[in-house]
């Protein structure tokens, strides 16, 4: 059984399973197929199969590339033993901590959380707009990339950098890699390709509020405290009421944070915890610089976020260090 576990290698994006995680994991699997002989390499999407419908940009890209959705593998369809390669995250989700000893490599563009992976042999973390940029650069150095592969990797890079126009997110490496992929992809229109994906990403027609909360959700833990952050598409219809409590019960989290447009809606399981959170945001300079309390009532508060603050910048600054133990 142990020998068989060495034969199967899995590439896995983060639990939000956005296009960067999905396409980056596919690209990483292709690289490993070059590097490893006599093993099976599969890319796995880090959500249950049923949740792919919440990611319409991924669906439209796969259909455009004639990918059979039935051929995709999802996290609820595979179990250890395997060797794990992380893409677009460098710390496992709470419910996946049992996979920690299996991690052999990491490719990411988020802040290094310095998680302990005893079997990790390779760790590549760079500040770029998209994790797929790192994998595309590797593939471009190894082989002649086909047009469909160029489109697959170009899609998340364009989305994550706002078509290479975001001054905050786009780096020189993103531009260099994207320019090479654009030549290979031979798209009729870069702008049309980007807009089609962008419209699909923010298409939430028919979504319930709970679906919106689950569409782009990440779970975190500090000590005994568990919290979640959901990012709601800016064009969605979202009240911020009711379903947040359902989500907290479903996820067993003490604090639910929802980023919607320039608001951060925070719900806690008690008023006492909410009081601690409000004080924490006020007294921690890094948080005070990017948030302003708008309202607070019992166990719910709303903060105004500074313009252009993404979740990956907000989350490392939270550091809920107050004395609280979730029971």
Strand order from edge to edge, sheet including 291-297: 217-222, 225-232, 255-260, 263-268, 300-305, 291-297
What is the pLDDT at residue 327?
A: 44
- Among residues 258, 243, 250, 241, the alpha carbon closest in space to that of 298 is found at 241
What is the pLDDT at residue 2?
A: 40
Pick the CATH number of 2-198 from 3.40.50.720, 3.90.180.10, 3.90.1640.10, 3.40.1030.10: 3.90.1640.10
Q: Could you report the per-residue pLDDT of 235-267, keeping only the tens digit for each?
A: 888 887 656 666 667 777 889 999 999 999 999
Q: Could you report the per-residue pLDDT of 173-217, keeping only the tens digit for each?
A: 999 999 999 999 999 999 999 999 999 999 999 998 888 988 888
Long-range pairs, 141-144, Cβ under 8 A, ≥24: 142/31, 142/34, 143/34
Q: Could you report the per-residue pLDDT of 263-298, keeping only the tens digit for each?
A: 999 999 889 999 999 999 999 999 999 999 999 999
User: Residue 325 pLDDT more than 60?
Assistant: no
User: What is the fold, at CATH topology level, of the domain defined by 209-318?
Assistant: Diaminopimelate Epimerase; Chain A, domain 1 (3.10.310)
CB atoms under 10 Å from CB of 298, counted, come to 10
The Cα 156–Cα 142 span in angstroms is 20
Strand partners, 40: 8
Using DSSP, how many helices (H) and how many strands (E) does the chain show?
12, 12
What is the pLDDT at residue 39?
A: 93
The Cα 274–Cα 65 span in angstroms is 47
What is the pLDDT at residue 174?
A: 98
Phi/psi at 40 (5° precision): -100, 130
Helix crossing, 131-142 with 19-35: angle to 10°? 30
Burial class (CB in 10 A: 0-12, 13-18, 19+), 66: exposed
Strand partners, 260: 232, 263
The Cα 195–Cα 178 span in angstroms is 16
- Average pLDDT estimate for 49-68: 96
Peptide bond into 45 cis (omega under 30): no
What are the CA-CA distances from residue 294 to residues 83, 227, 260, 275, 302 (Å)?
A: 47, 21, 14, 14, 5
- Average pLDDT estimate for 97-126: 96
Strand partners, 134: none
Reduce the DSSP state of residue 266 to 3 states and report it: strand
Map out the domains of the chain as residue ranges. Answer: 2-198, 209-318
Please give the biggest Cα pair distance in the chain: 60
Helix (H) or strand (E) holding 258: strand 255-260
Helices (H), 221-270: 243-251
Provide the pairing of β-strand 122-125 with 217-222. Answer: unpaired
pLDDT-derived band at 326, boundaries 50, 70, 90: very low
The Cα 111–Cα 315 span in angstroms is 10
pLDDT-derived band at 110, boundaries 50, 70, 90: very high
Sign of CA dihedral 238, 240, 243, 246: positive
∠ CA 229-273-270, nearest 5°, is: 90
Query: What pTM, to 2 d.p., does this model score?
Result: 0.84
What is the pLDDT at residue 1?
A: 33
> Taking all residues of the chain, what is their mean pLDDT, rounded to a whole number?
91
């Amino acid at each position: 059984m142990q020998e068989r576990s060495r034969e199967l290698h899995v590439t896995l994006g983060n639990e939000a399973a956005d296009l960067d995680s999905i396409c980056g994991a596919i690209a990483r699997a292709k690289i490993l197929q070059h590097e490893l002989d006599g093993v099976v390499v599969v890319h796995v999407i880090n959500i249950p199969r049923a949740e792919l419908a919440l990611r319409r940009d991924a669906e439209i890209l796969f259909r455009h590339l004639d990918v059979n959705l039935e051929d995709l593998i999802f996290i609820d369809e595979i179990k250890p033993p395997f060797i794990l390669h992380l893409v677009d995250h460098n710390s496992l989700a709470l419910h996946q901590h049992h996979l920690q000893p299996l991690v052999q490599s990491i490719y990411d563009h988020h802040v290094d959380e310095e998680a302990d992976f005893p079997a990790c042999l390779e760790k590549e973390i760079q500040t770029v707009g998209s994790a797929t940029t790192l994998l595309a650069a590797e593939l471009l150095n190894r082989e002649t990339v086909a047009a469909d592969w160029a489109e697959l990797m170009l899609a998340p890079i364009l989305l994550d950098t706002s078509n290479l126009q975001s001054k905050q997110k786009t780096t020189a490496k993103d531009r260099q890699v994207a320019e090479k992929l654009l030549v290979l992809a031979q798209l009729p229109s870069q702008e049309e390709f980007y807009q089609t994906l962008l419209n699909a990403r923010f298409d939430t027609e028919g979504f319930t509020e709970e679906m919106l909360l689950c569409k782009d959700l990440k779970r975190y833990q500090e000590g005994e405290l568990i919290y979640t952050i959901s990012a709601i598409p800016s064009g969605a219809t979202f009240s911020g009421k009711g379903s947040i409590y359902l989500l907290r019960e479903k996820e067993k989290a003490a604090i639910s944070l929802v980023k919607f447009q320039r608001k951060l809606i925070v719900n806690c399981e008690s008023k006492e915890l909410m009081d601690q959170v409000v004080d924490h945001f006020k007294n921690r300079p890094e948080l005070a610089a990017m948030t302003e309390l708008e309202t607070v009532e019992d166990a719910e508060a709303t903060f105004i976020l500074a313009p252009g603050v993404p979740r990956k910048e907000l989350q490392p600054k939270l550091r809920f260090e107050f004395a609280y133990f979730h029971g």
